Amino acid sequence: MLSERRKLFSLLAEESPMQRRLRAVALVIALLLSLYPPMHAQPEWTPPPVSKLVVLDVAEASFGWVDKDRFTNFFVREVRKMDLQLEVVILQRIEDWEKLLEEGPSDIVVVNAHGEVIPLPSSYRADWCAFLGRLARMVRDKGWVLVNPVGYAFWAVGNSKEPEIGSVKNIGEEGLSCFAAELGLTATAWPPVPESEAYGKPSELARRLFDVMGYDMPASIPVPRPLRLFNGSGEILPLWSLLEMRNNVTAYGFAVYRVGRGYLLWGGLHGGVTDEIAAQLTAAAIAYFVEPEVVLRPPALKRSQLYAIAFAGAGAALAVILIALRTFKGKRR
């Protein structure tokens, strides 16, 4: 073994300076190639015709388990990086949210950046159940895609222009129950396991998307508010999801459910998840929802990979410099 090592070192010593430079470059190229996973198969998902993305970041309503402004900034940045065929609109006034509900355009994506709070339009006064019924009908009849990334959706409503409501008023689980009842369903977002065990692991689809979008995600993510929908026949399972919680029962995070013409995209994240990670998960889910071919794009470098490349590149550069110095000193002799 010792003689083989000596032979190897001898061969390396006999290499010319140019061969050594090429070897250093080859090592960097090999590292780059190793960071890219193989191309994946065509996804099995036919998206609905969606061309507009609306983000609710309304000044008159508070937020729960998320900072709405930080989330919106991170989320919009990630969506625009993906260059999707979507018009992105941020609603910052309660009047604009009410106008959208009144006009009822078809086939739009609505992302609630307020977490467990939903802005309540002024025309409904304190009748939050009538408002949630209207919102449910927009999903069922108009093909809206309603996205709630964080927490127990509709746990509270908010409108600082309405004295009975204020920027936030808790209504508890009755909010989701009222929304689901309009759809002829029952629903809960309490975890089927103890909250300390309510963690989801990225699905195969999620791992593909994270590679494409260059995301470094934790191996498991807290999902203590997973949606569970029921009709007369039993539980309704999601069409696909990014996070899967598998213990004695199965629950999902960032899961897509079909409701009439529309869809619910439910995150169920814990408030302890950073706003940036919540925004990245939401962007990944929406990117796949509107353009499933996104998983076939070349992978983007993740932060950890960029650090590795920078380290390897610095090492290769240092090796080239040392070889050049040794060559220069040899010539001077």
Token pair for residue 175?
């909010």
Question: According to CATH, what is the number of the domain 52-296?
Answer: 3.40.50
Full-model pTM: 0.80
Among 240, 244, 262, smallest CA distance to 253 is for 244
What local confidence, expressed as pLDDT, does residue 26 receive?
47
What local confidence, expressed as pLDDT, does residue 28 receive?
45
Please say whether the beta carbons of 52 and 258 come within 8 A: no
- Listed by start position, the domains of the chain span 52-296
What local confidence, expressed as pLDDT, does residue 15 receive?
52
Please say whether the beta carbons of 157 and 63 come within 8 A: no
What local confidence, expressed as pLDDT, does residue 253 receive?
97
What local confidence, expressed as pLDDT, does residue 224 receive?
97
Left, alpha or beta for 268 (phi > 0: left; psi -120 to 50: alpha)?
A: left
Three-state SS at 70:
helix
Among 131, 177, 138, 180, smallest CA distance to 158 is for 131
Give me the sheet containing 199-202, strands edge to edge.
87-91, 52-56, 108-112, 145-150, 262-269, 250-259, 240-246, 199-202, 221-222
| Weakly modelled stretches of the chain, pLDDT under 70 | 1-43, 248, 301-333
Which residues lie across from 111 on neighbouring strands? 55, 147
For the chain, give the longest Cα–Cα distance: 91
* Tokens 């983000």 belong to residue: 55
Handedness of CA 246, 251, 254, 259 (dihedral sign): positive
What local confidence, expressed as pLDDT, does residue 9 receive?
46
